[in-house]
Amino acid sequence: MRSLFPRFLSIFLIEIAIVFFILFILWGLPEIDTWSPLWKLYYLELPLGLWILTLLGAFSISVAIWSISLTQSKDKELADVLQTLIQTEKKTPVSTKYLSKIIRKSIVSVEDLIITQRKSLQRITNERAEAEDKLIQERIIQERQRLARELHDSVSQQLFAASMLLSTVNETAPEDLPLHFTKPLKQTETIVQQAQLEMRALLLHLRPAALHNKSLAQGLEDLLFELKQKVFFNIHHRLEEVSLQKGAEDHLFRIAQETLSNTLRHAKATEVDILLVERDNLAIFRVQDNGVGFQEFDEKAGSYGLKNIEERAIEIGGTCKIVSVPNQGTVIEVKIPVEKEYEPDDSNIISG
């Protein structure tokens, strides 16, 4: 109602001005004798002038009500359109029955701007999350390297020294020494040696899966050469160059680390055979030992590490086969498809 009266008054005054202008054209200047029909002529006991004012007032009220209704319809439609643009992620057809062409063009521009800004914000959010994940991974790798160095320089060296001292004591002990003295010494030596294996397996697991621009065969060669200097069992290996992508090589190198770590901790083997070859478009990696083996779902057999190996093999499109026989050993074999690069057939090339 607040907006109805001003509109009615403005329309009414405009209409009166128009009526007076028409009367001025028809009857000339406003003289009493000339304009006397406005109050002398009666219709239904009312002067003609009053009828004119009443009709003008009714018409003004109708136009004012129609104008307010049209304005409210435009406002509601514009609000609905903007709400639709805010809530939807893609362009959707919206009803613009009461809006002008200029407003429609503005809505299209606003819609394009909102979609562009939304995509930009999503991209920035994704990039920020990826950057944070990358930073976290780098810090994890740095921390693992630091722990590996400290453990190698302190605990590992001390275990090695203790193992050497116990081995020397057991070798130089008199033969007539009572059993209750020699047996605890040998048991302690065995425990220290097992602790050494656990420590070496942990150091092996802490090493980051990075080949440092080396091939997979070269990286495994260096890993096994370092490992041979620190273990009490024999390692035999056959490593060939395989054609794998960088990501697959890194995953397979990590699988090798995990497999050797499990062997060190749980196998109690004296012989370990390692194979890396490429046959029939498959990269085959196999680790076989003559250790204690394990039953299926044996928690003591490092089932968590074996699950990691299987998951890593699946991630690069490969398969993992684990066979173990108690007191005979374990075989872990991973096969990964080799993606060959396309080579054009020379026979189909026509020389110009």
Give the predicted TM-score (pTM) of the model. Answer: 0.50
- In which residue are the tokens 């498959």 written? 282
Q: Are 228 and 191 in contact (CB under 8 A)?
A: no
Q: What is the pLDDT of residue 198?
A: 73
Q: What is the pLDDT of residue 4?
A: 63
In whole angstroms, what is the distance from residue 285 CA to residue 1 CA? 85
Average pLDDT over residues 35-41: 65
Percent of the chain with pLDDT over 90: 12
Q: What is the pLDDT of residue 239?
A: 94
Size (the chain), residues: 352
Question: What confidence category does residue 283 fall into, taking pLDDT thresholds of 50, 70 and 90?
Answer: very high
Q: Which has the higher per-residue pLDDT, 133 or 32?
A: 133
Which of 36-45, 76-85, 222-231, 243-252 has the highest average model confidence (pLDDT)? 243-252
pLDDT > 90? residue 45: no
pLDDT, tens only, 311-322? 889 988 999 999
Strand partners, 331: 288, 323
Average pLDDT over residues 74-78: 73
pLDDT, tens only, 225-260? 878 877 778 899 999 999 888 888 888 988 998 888
Q: Which range is least confidently modeled, 66-75, 82-91, 273-282?
A: 82-91
Q: What is the pLDDT of residue 336?
A: 93
Percent of the chain with pLDDT over 70: 71
Provide the mean pLDDT of the chain.
76
Q: What is the pLDDT of residue 289?
A: 93
pLDDT, tens only, 206-215? 765 566 678 8
Q: What is the pLDDT of residue 89?
A: 59
pLDDT > 50? residue 287: yes
Write out the DSSP string of 64-120: HHHHHHHHHHHHHHHHHHHHHHHH-SS------SS--HHHHHHHHHHHHHHHHHHHH
In whole angstroms, what is the distance from residue 249 CA to residue 270 CA? 28
